[in-house]
């Protein structure tokens, strides 16, 4: 069969939750462009780049764990491929200026058989709000959670709340069986053994190597299950993933920029899209020289982002000027020229900071091929202005926790796109966020974010989010590098797959019936 290579352009996607008191009605899975009849009895084998650090959606330290957690945990709100909110465990909801009312589906159960009712949701949302939860910043401003009956949950907030609907399509909206948490022993078990209400249960695992999921017979949306057995294998080498797909050992492999051209040259089916995920250099502003604004600005001017997109990403990327890509509703074109590549200006800024001879720091990074290549290019570019960036590659499961604990000067990483722009900004730069080791933020950041979250009109909200991005950019809280294409390389037998603005959902994906 001839190669099918499809690239999806970024569209004007955003968190359009509508005006106050919007009611969304129930719906199930919708057919995809690659729809076909799947045979659930045929296992689906997928190659990914890393495993999961924890099966506890509220207490994990790595937001990218959401990719695999989506298999075993259902969320109150789901998203379509364009990132728009659609019903999940909540079949409908209403939102006004002070509250979000969620109406749960009838007859929901956890994989262990316990009933998933309003009390279970309340227990989860209260846990998601605990200060040590990675989800707490996503729900900042929530003042109360209560059940008004067995299937109705009311979330109250004391400030702006336009972001909460999509917040509940993320880690914060993943619902855990309350019987599986509540004391240290239970929480420790939960990190290794999920207890959810999703499409699948974890049947077997070799942590960091392979995970086997089996489908639930009583899941509320049977069309979302395309295979009864879904095996995830960790393969960090892009060429190994391609070889496995080509040989038929793997049905689908995550596809990063270094794989795209090679996959197409081999005649393989490639489906990718430019997503919200982007690489960035993040600073711990309490370490090295990063407390000085001039130093952070110098680094921003010393990096040639377009060169990174053209070389390390082999052209399958967009040079980043902020935390959102062009044509996305939260993108602010006024920020595009703030930090043009200008080594001479970088040297002057270093001199202004009292560092005419530069300085040295250590950046940790994910030990993945694209991340290593990008880090090496940044290292070379910074060296040209007198900055010595030492590189310390770490496994994905170790890198993020190391930085978030405050044990590293800087982190060259991939910021995983979040379901709502406010969630990304608050997680990365919020003063009390566990993902912000600096524990400080830019002046006016909180006020600008609150103003954005008061708006439900997409265009107005986009403008307000641009003001938040300006506070981040003016203070160089991080240096965005590139947005890049992501997706899958697939055999011709795979049906139901479609690219997503955020993470692949895998709803309805399976192997075509013979």
Judge whether 420 lies within some domain. Answer: yes
| In a domain? residue 424 | yes
Say what the pLDDT of residue 396 is: 83
3-state helix, strand, coil in the chain (%, to 5): 30, 25, 45
Query: pLDDT (tens digit, 9 = 90+) per residue, 293-352?
Result: 999 999 999 999 999 999 999 999 999 999 999 989 999 999 999 999 999 999 999 999
Please indicate, yes or no, whether residues 184 and 313 belong to a single structural domain of this protein: no
Q: What is the pLDDT of residue 31?
A: 35
Same domain, 193 and 310: no
Q: Are residues 150 and 70 in the same domain?
A: yes
Long-range contacts of 453-459 (CB under 8 A, 24+ apart): 453/141, 453/159, 453/160, 453/161, 453/162, 453/163, 453/422, 454/160, 454/162, 455/160, 455/162, 456/17, 456/18, 456/19, 456/20, 456/162, 457/19, 458/14, 458/15, 458/16, 458/329, 459/329
Q: How far apart are CA 465 and CA 212, in angstroms?
A: 40
Amino acid 498: pLDDT: 92
DSSP assignment of 208-229 = TTEEEEEE-TT-S-GGG---SE
Last residue of a domain, one of 157, 182, 210: 210
> Does the residue 14 lie in any domain?
no
Q: What pLDDT shows up at residue 296?
A: 98
500 and 42 in contact (C-beta within 8 Å)?
no
Statement to judge: residues 176 and 288 lie in one domain: no
**pLDDT for res 313:** 95
Residues linked to residue 484 through DSSP beta bridges, in sequence order = 317
Rounded to the nearest 10 degrees, what angle do helices 458-474 and 445-452 cross at? 170
DSSP summary character for residue 349 = H
Clarify whether residues 297 and 199 are in a common domain: no
Instruction: Report pLDDT for 20.
Output: 34
The pLDDT of residue 160: 87
Identify the domain containing residue 58 by its residue range: 44-210
306 and 161 co-located in one domain: no
Residues 413 and 339 placed together within one structural domain of the fold: yes
Same domain, 63 and 190: yes
Same domain, 293 and 190: no
State the CATH number of the domain containing residue 118. Answer: 3.40.190.10
Instruction: Answer whether residue 360 is part of any domain.
Output: yes
Residues 284 and 206 in one domain: no
Burial class (CB in 10 A: 0-12, 13-18, 19+), 270: buried
Q: What is the pLDDT of residue 13?
A: 42
Residue ending a domain, choose from 210, 231, 246? 210
Handedness of CA 288, 290, 294, 295 (dihedral sign): positive
Beta bridge partners of 274: 485
Q: Which residues of the chain fall below pLDDT 50?
A: 1-5, 9-33
Domain annotation covers residue 509 = no
Does 165 map to a domain? yes
- Which residue has tokens 């730069």? 429
Distances (CA, A) of 92 to 26, 77, 87, 88, 426: 6, 9, 6, 9, 26
Strands 77-79 and 85-87: antiparallel
Domain match, 315 and 464 both: yes
Q: Which of 182, 210, 238 is the last residue of a domain?
A: 210
For residue 335, what is the domain's CATH number? Answer: 3.10.105.10
Give strand pairing partners of 488.
254, 271
Residue 337 lies in a domain: yes
* pLDDT at position 7: 52
Indicate the number of domains in the chain: 2
Residue 117 falls inside a structural domain: yes
User: Is 300 found in the same domain as 384?
Assistant: yes
């Amino acid at each position: 069969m001839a190669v099918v290579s499809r690239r999806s352009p970024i569209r004007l996607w955003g968190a359009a939750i509508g005006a106050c008191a919007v009611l969304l009605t129930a719906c199930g899975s919708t057919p995809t462009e690659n729809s076909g009849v799947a045979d659930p009895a045929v296992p689906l084998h997928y190659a990914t780049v890393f495993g999961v650090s924890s099966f506890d959606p509220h207490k994990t330290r790595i937001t990218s764990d959401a990719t695999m957690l989506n298999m075993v945990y259902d969320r109150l709100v789901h998203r379509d491929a364009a990132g728009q909110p659609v019903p999940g465990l909540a079949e409908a909801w209403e939102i006004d200026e002070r509250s979000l009312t969620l109406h749960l589906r009838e007859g929901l159960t956890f994989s262990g058989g316990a009933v998933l009712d309003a009390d279970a949701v309340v227990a989860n949302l209260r846990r998601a709000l605990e200060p040590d939860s990675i989800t707490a910043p996503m729900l900042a401003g929530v003042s109360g959670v209560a059940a008004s009956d067995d299937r109705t949950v009311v979330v109250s907030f004391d400030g702006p709340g336009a972001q909460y609907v999509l917040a509940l399509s993320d880690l914060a909206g993943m619902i855990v069986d309350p019987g599986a948490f509540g004391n240290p022993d239970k929480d420790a078990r939960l990190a290794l053994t999920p207890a959810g209400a999703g499409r699948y249960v974890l049947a077997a695992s070799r942590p960091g190597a392979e995970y086997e999921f089996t489908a639930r017979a009583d899941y509320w949306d049977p069309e979302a299950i395309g295979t009864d057995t879904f095996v995830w294998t960790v393969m960090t080498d892009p060429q190994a993933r391609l070889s496995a797909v080509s040989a038929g050992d793997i049905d689908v492999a995550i596809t990063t920029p270094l794989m795209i051209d090679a996959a197409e040259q081999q005649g393989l089916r490639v489906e990718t899209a430019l997503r919200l995920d982007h690489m960035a250099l993040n600073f711990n502003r309490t370490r090295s020289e990063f407390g000085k604004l001039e130093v952070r600005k110098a680094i921003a001017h010393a990096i040639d982002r377009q060169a990174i997109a053209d070389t390390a990403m082999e052209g399958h990327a967009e040079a980043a000027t902020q935390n959102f890509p062009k044509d996305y509703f939260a993108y602010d074109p006024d920020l595009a020229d703030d930090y043009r590549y200008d080594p001479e200006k970088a040297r002057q800024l270093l001199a202004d900071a009292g560092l005419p001879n530069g300085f040295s720091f250590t950046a940790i990074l994910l030990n993945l091929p694209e991340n290593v290549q990008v880090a090496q290019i940044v290292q070379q570019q910074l060296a040209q202005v007198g900055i010595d960036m030492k590189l310390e590659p770490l496994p994905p499961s170790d890198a993020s926790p190391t930085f978030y604990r405050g044990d590293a000067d800087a982190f060259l990483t991939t910021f995983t796109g979040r379901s709502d722009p406010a969630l990304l900004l608050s997680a990365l730069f919020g003063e009390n966020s566990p993902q912000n080791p600096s524990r400080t933020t830019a002046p006016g950041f909180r006020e600008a974010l609150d103003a954005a979250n008061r708006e439900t009109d997409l265009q107005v909200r986009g403008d307000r989010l641009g003001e938040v991005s300006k506070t981040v950019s003016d203070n160089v809280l991080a240096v965005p590098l590139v947005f890049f294409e992501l997706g899958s390389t697939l055999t011709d037998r795979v049906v139901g797959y479609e690219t997503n603005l955020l993470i692949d959902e895998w709803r309805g994906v399976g192997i075509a019936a013979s």
